[in-house]
Amino acid sequence: MFIPFAIETDRDWEFRQRHPYAVYTLLATYIAIHVMFAALLSPAQWSDVLYRFGVVQWEFAWYSFITCTFLHVGWLHLIGNCLFLWVYGSTLERFLGSARFLMLYIAGALLSTAVHLETLSPFSQGVPTVGASGAISAVLGAFFALLPKSRLRCVFFFFVRPFVVTLPAFVVLGLWFIGQLYFSLEPVSASEEVAFWAHVAGFAAGAVFGVVLHGRLKRSGERDEMHRLNILGQAWSAFFRGDESSARTLKEAYDAQCPRHEEPSTALLTACLAKQTSAELDAMHHYLHRAYNKAMNALQYSTVVTVYLT
């Protein structure tokens, strides 16, 4: 069994946020609820909570499809879910953004629970279903589809002896999915305590839904980039017309929409405006030097020549 504990990816430049706030919130909620119930409730009260907020076939409330994901039957169940959500979810949320990540999480919880109820054994129909495994399986499926070449550092146990190995995400998650599918098939599945079909359904739904979300996000990003480049083009046109005030206003509008990243042509425009409007040669040299470095790093040699001649 591979237990992941760290992820390395070459696509961190695509991350849409620095911190996984939704994952922080979910983890804190899982732990707080479990600690509170374990400390304050008697076994009878805890059983009542499971039946009231878990999902029981033919007896569930509309909200139980979500509330069941915040309940866990033991510390091992809680720690396992928290580990997988932290390892995979923190990277996926920064890649997709918090809103889309939560949409994926909720969709995975709803669909996986519904599939679990449809495939539930008649001997377990009165048992409440709890745990975030289905929703987290959707996170794993989306990770498998969107970041398959990420490198996972995992602990692998061979004859009880642990080894640390680094494997591609598609290998680790592919083996995990095959294992869940294997154990979900009757009569192989000997355990009624693990919702294997919920894991399979959540993983498949997460893979599909993750691709759809990322596709829409990518198209939206391309439209925004075209809009920003159009503003930058207008700024250069205004500069060449001699309308330095309009060029400066348009460049400020571009900077406001793209604060984290600066194209070589943007740095060059800043340098040209500084040269035209300021007597401080230090400012001009500063911006020209930055434009030169950015153009060299981007291998934009035509821009390098322009900066040099400027």
Residue 225 vs residue 146, higher pLDDT: 146
pLDDT of 195 reads 77
DSSP letter string over 60-124? --TTHHHHGGG--SSHHHHHHHHHHIIIIIHHHHHHH-HHHHHHHHHHHHHHHHHHHHHT--GGG
Per-residue pLDDT of 114-123, as tens digits, reads: 888 888 776 6
Across 67-104, b (16+ Cβ under 10 Å) vs e yields bbbbbbeeeebbebbbebbbbbbbbbbbbbbbebbbeb
Query: Which of 133, 145, 130 shows the shortest CA–CA distance to 199?
Result: 133
E strand or H helix at 222, and its extent? Answer: helix 196-240
The predicted model gives 46-63 an average pLDDT of 85
**170 confidence band (pLDDT: 50, 70, 90):** very high
Rounded distance between C-alpha atoms, residue 268 and residue 295, angstroms: 9
Q: Is the pLDDT of residue 269 over 90?
A: no
Q: Among 15-24, 27-36, 135-144, 210-219, name the one with the lowest average pLDDT.
A: 210-219
- What is the number of other CB atoms lying within 10 angstroms of the CB of residue 25? 12
The predicted model gives 292-299 an average pLDDT of 60
Distance of CA 227 to the CA centre of its chain: 26
E strand or H helix at 168, and its extent? Answer: strand 161-168
Q: Is the pLDDT of residue 74 over 50?
A: yes
pTM, two decimal places: 0.71
